[in-house]
Structure 1
Amino acid sequence: MTQSGVAPILVRLRHRPLIAGLVVPWITARTLDGRPRFGTVDADRAAKALHRRWCQICGQQLEDRFVFAMRDRDLDRSIAPEAAMHPECSRYSITACPMLAGRMDHYRTSGQAELFAGIGTILGDPAGQRGGQAAEPWNAVWARDYTVITDPTTHLPAALLLPDQILRVRPIAVHGTPAPPATRHNPTIR
């Protein structure tokens, strides 16, 4: 973070639009009048990113190693509900996103459905169950591959990570406390 409290913008992200000094991720939904809404996901872009192996933050092609942001319950199912990121884009997101950084202790309760009526947007909570709930711990999950599936819980495209595809799992933050050291999810990885 800079002295102003805004994460520095990476060269890879300089082509992305900014709001209040923060990069607008490639998958972020926009209202009918074109305004991006942080915390919302454009369903079409999210599906394209998963299927075409594009980074959800910069919208560019992923390489041989990438990172998913996954809650503990996602990790338990080995299903990532959102597209992967380049390692550097994930580091930026972990610093800039208040949910990933642990600066938000509850999910937003204000409804935004009226802003997105009829434009194919996922409101960051496709099952509609998180509003006002306590925020969950997040993990940075490094992987080398994944398979696109339909998530049996949300019925949306998601990434299935097999044990041999996971390289490392690192807790990101537990709301207000530093993240613990990295752990290895797959004991065969050294």
Structure 2
Amino acid sequence: MSQPPVPVRCRERPQAGGLVVPFISYEHAGHAVFGAINPRRRSLALLRALCQICGQQLDERLCLTVRPMDFQAGAAPEPGLHPECLAYSARACPMLSGAVAEYRTTAASVNHPAGKPCSDPACPCPRMLPDPHHEIRSGRPADAWDSWMIHRRHYRVKQNPQQPGQLLGIDLDVPVLRIRPLRRSPRHHLDEVHTRRMRALDL
């Protein structure tokens, strides 16, 4: 299967298996773990308004990937993307493209690439585990995903009022320029609830 063309912005990023390694990807033993997020890079991207794929500054118009649960929580937990980086991800990422039906399990994601738990005391992985969202969604059926385009002037990071310093993600209570479906979930009833909420907000 041929890989989608790499956007110009991403040509300096490392690749694995012909795919661009996102800026926020978790790495273990020198290998990128697709589907797992480096919490430090996530925070950096959120606070500095960097694209989660290429790591460059976001432009005047940026995109967010939003699930029904994110809409309900009022924040998109993953950093924003350039429109062209999102277009690439929508084809290259098996979750966004609909190629997989569920999230990979945490054990399969964070173990050594050879499939064995890490036993290297010098490896930073025991001190820097993937983000807690990865643990929560491990092995669950895939969610529905939408793309929201917002203006940079409405970009703001939402923090957890009960835990100062914890970044919930990008605030979704902002004007939205455009919404497009990325993938639909087999859990139709949740999609219907999400659609009704969106219509109620006239989005």
* TM surpasses 0.5: yes
Q: Which ranges in structure 2 are unaligned for 5 or more consecutive residues?
A: 112-116, 119-124, 187-197
**Pair 1:169 & 2:165 matched:** no
Shift of 1:11: 1.1
SS in 2 for 1:136: coil
Select which of 41, 45, 51 maps to 1:45: 41
Pairing of 1:43-122 with structure 2 (within 5 A): 43-111=39-107, 112=110, 114-115=117-118, 116-122=125-131
Pairing of 1:122-161 with structure 2 (within 5 A): 122=131, 125=134, 128-144=135-151, 145-151=154-160, 155-161=166-172
Between the two proteins, the alignment pairs up a number of residues equal to 175
Shift of 1:46: 0.6
The one of the two structures with greater contact order (alpha-carbon pairs below 8 A, sep at least 6) is 2
Q: Partner residue of 1:12?
A: 9
Provide the C-alpha distance between the structure 2 equivalents of 1:65 and 1:186, rounded to a whole number of angstroms. Answer: 21
The answer (yes or no) to whether the contact 2:76–2:168 under 8 Å persists in 1 is no
Q: 1:151–1:7: structure 2 CA closer, same or farther, 3 Å change rule?
A: farther
Which letter does structure 1 place at the counterpart of 2:126?
A: A
Q: Partner residue of 1:23?
A: 20
SS in 2 for 1:107: coil
Pairing of 1:178-189 with structure 2 (within 5 A): 187=202
Shift of 1:99: 0.4
Q: 1:119–1:61: structure 2 CA closer, same or farther, 3 Å change rule?
A: same
Which letter does structure 2 place at the counterpart of 1:59?
A: G
The answer (yes or no) to whether the contact 1:66–1:87 under 8 Å persists in 2 is yes
Q: 1:153–1:92: structure 2 CA closer, same or farther, 3 Å change rule?
A: farther
Report the TM-score, using the length of structure 1 for normalisation: 0.81
The answer (yes or no) to whether the contact 1:29–1:40 under 8 Å persists in 2 is yes
SS in 1 for 2:181: strand
Provide the C-alpha distance between the structure 2 equivalents of 1:152 and 1:102, rounded to a whole number of angstroms. Answer: 34
Provide the C-alpha distance between the structure 2 equivalents of 1:10 and 1:38, rounded to a whole number of angstroms. Answer: 18
Q: 1:136–1:29: structure 2 CA closer, same or farther, 3 Å change rule?
A: same
Higher helix share: 2
SS in 1 for 2:177: strand
Which letter does structure 2 place at the counterpart of 1:170?
A: R
SS in 1 for 2:95: coil
Larger mean CA deviation between 148-157 and 6-15 belongs to: 148-157
Q: Which ranges in structure 1 are unaligned for 5 or more consecutive residues?
A: 177-182
Report the TM-score, using the length of structure 2 for normalisation: 0.76
The Cα RMSD (Å) is: 2.6
Give the share of equivalent positions with the same residue, in percent: 35
Which letter does structure 1 place at the counterpart of 2:144?
A: P
